[in-house]
Chains A and B, each alone.
Chain A
Amino acid sequence: MKARLLSSLILCGALAGCGDHSMFRQNRYGTFSKAALFKNGSEAQPLPVGVVAQGDLARAEAAGKPPPVDMALLSRGRERYDIYCSPCHGYSGRGDGMIVQRGFPAPPSYHSDRLRAADAQHFFDVITNGYGVMYSYAARVDVRDRWAIAAYIRALQQSQHVDVADVPELRSKLP
């Protein structure tokens, strides 16, 4: 009996000596911390050369194949555009979104000659890679959605620039 008590007491003492059991301090690097383990001394490591993430191939394929444009795709593009692009580019694409009113550099209007003449691939690439002070939206906007947004930008451009000669039925609706 006495020996048992003694051994359990000793065990308690030994356990107490094991240090911090709270799991607050784990044996790992914190975000943005220094890391002696790696050559560049940083915890954040780029992907090793040649790595292909899951779904990369499918994404690369979708990037080269614009989906056919129908109302569903355009509606999707409109929704995504209003979420991700309108804060800067404005709902009508004039580059006068709320963030610009608050001092962010003004983007060019989609209704300028240059961007009306730009092909859809350019819009896709700008979303993927960013452009000038505009950062990339690749992480937020899926490949198919990028094409949807590109198509919707065409619709925006169309809505602010219709040649009435091409659409005779428009005459009756105009003031």
Chain B
Amino acid sequence: MPTEEMGSRILPQPPEVDARVVLTVVGGFLLIVAAAVVGLLVFLKADVPGALAPKRERPFPAPTLQTTPQGDLAKFEAAQHEALSDYGWIDRDRGLAHVPIDDAMRMIAARGEHAYDPLPGSSDPPADAGGGKR
């Protein structure tokens, strides 16, 4: 039977195997591996710049997923409406302010015939953040 044959081949180890030969082979193998590793390190150090320096972590941008589009829109619109709903200074030194849109509508309506005319005064308020690329 094959299994018995195999078993009898493996066990027990015949006493005449020379331990020195085994050690020499294993030792030689380890030596060659060590030499290869050292050679590789020497090569990398000499010829591949940066290969041995520790790699810095490269942060990649978070995925631009929108998990709550409705919520985002509500927040966005609230922020935009806020700019149209309170009083504040744009440039105190020049006496420029922003007012709620309802006040501004009353001011425009009060101009009567000249309601469509361009507004007096110019020079950009610093609050002019977004807008044209030109």
Contact = CB atoms under 8 A, between A and B. Distances in A.
Interface of A: 66, 68-71, 74-75, 78, 86, 90-92, 94-96, 98, 100-101, 105-109, 111-113, 116-120, 147, 150-152, 154-165, 167, 170, 173-175
Measured as residues with beta carbon below 8 angstroms from the partner, the interface class of chain B is 35 or more
Contact of B104 (A117, A120, A158): A158
B108 A96 contact: no
Given A117-B118, A175-B87, A175-B89, A94 B101 contact: no
Contacts of A173: 87, 99
A111 B115 CA distance: 17
A157 B119 contact: yes
Contacts of B98: 159-162
Contact of B97 (A71, A90, A101, A162): A162
Given A98-B76, A156-B101, A174-B97, A161 B116 contact: no
Contacts of B83: 91-92, 160
* Secondary structure dominating the interface of B: loop
Interface stretch (B8-16, B47-55, B125-133): B125-133
B119 A69 contact: no
A111 B108 contact: no
A160 B90 contact: yes
B90 A161 contact: yes
Given A108-B131, A163-B121, A91 B77 contact: yes
Contacts of B67: none
A78 B97 contact: no
B68 interface: no
Nearest to A122: B118
Given A120-B116, A160-B98, 10 more contacts: A74-B105, A91-B77, A120-B117, A154-B116, A158-B108, A159-B101, A160-B127, A161-B121, A167-B107, A175-B87
Contacts of B38: none
A109 B77 contact: no
Given A91-B81, A155-B108, A96 B116 contact: no
B5 interface: no
Given A94-B129, A151-B115, A157-B119, A164 B105 contact: no
A117 B122 contact: yes
Contacts of B132: 95, 106-109, 112
23 contacts: A69-B112, A94-B130, A106-B132, A106-B133, A107-B131, A111-B131, A112-B124, A120-B116, A154-B116, A155-B104, A159-B98, A159-B103, A160-B90, A160-B125, A160-B128, A161-B90, A162-B96, A162-B99, A164-B95, A170-B87, A170-B99, A173-B87, A175-B89
